[in-house]
Amino acid sequence: MPSGPAAVVLDLDGVVIDSEGVWEQVREDYTRRHGGRWQEGTQARMMGMSTAEWAAFMHSELGVPQEPDAIARGVIEAMLDRYRAQLPLLPGAADALAGLAAHWPLGLASSSPRDVVDAVLDLAGIAGRFRAVVSSDEVSAGKPAPDVYLEAAHRLGVTPADAVAVEDSANGIRAAHAAGLAVVAVPNPEFPPAADALALAAARVPGVAAVTPEVVRQAAQGRPPTTGPRGSRQ
């Protein structure tokens, strides 16, 4: 891939918006208000899960008595209220997206519910930057399964091995790598990815503002070795 990738696929939470802490606050508040048991490290465990997965986790593991569908609705409504009041767009995100979009088609592979994803893109005024947007709710399994990245590459019309992902979390890095994409890691300082996950990344930068076309090209050329065949959707 001497001239760079065919496309770039970004995560949303922790890459474009500083939202992991918001998710934690909203989920913890919901859990405690409904009689559940919030535990240390819970947010990190849920990062990457689809809506169905984290709602079921809150019901079964945290003891929230409501059924998962009701839990999901309550948490999503609270997240949308928080975003409408103040969207935590990360510094430099809009400019970074503009710079990348000038060179390659962009995709979004997010674990957030599609309603939340669409609201964020509209509120930030960046919906037009992405040619393909996929929520984990639209595929069989959330991150660290590769499904959301495989689907994003499919919608972009590129082979996963010809694309670069931008991710902040351990499960996100693992998902993108498992799908066959080279990964630029933007480690989340509040929820830092595990060392073994970071080792899968071809490049590492301190924030989304540093995700330049040159960094993406270098990642595409310096991907770590893969462990098996890639490139088909699961």
Beta-carbon count within 10 A of 37 CB: 11
CATH architecture assignment, domain 20-85:
Orthogonal Bundle (1.10)
What's the CA gap between 162 and 220, in Å, rounded? Answer: 8
pLDDT value at position 3?
A: 60
Decide if pLDDT at 2 tops 70.
Answer: no
Element (H, E) at 1: none
Q: What is the pLDDT of residues 109-149, one digit of tens each?
A: 999 999 999 999 999 999 999 999 999 999 999 999 999 99
Report the predicted TM-score, pTM, of the whole model to 2 decimal places: 0.88
Please provide the average confidence, as pLDDT, over all residues in the chain.
93
Concatenate the DSSP letters of all residues of 112-126 into one string.
Answer: S-HHHHHHHHHHHT-
Q: What is the pLDDT of residues 163-204, one digit of tens each?
A: 999 999 999 999 999 999 999 999 988 889 999 999 999 999
**Domains in the chain: boundaries:** 7-19+88-221, 20-85
The correct CATH number of 7-19+88-221 out of 3.40.50.2300, 3.40.50.300, 3.40.640.10, 3.40.50.1000 is: 3.40.50.1000
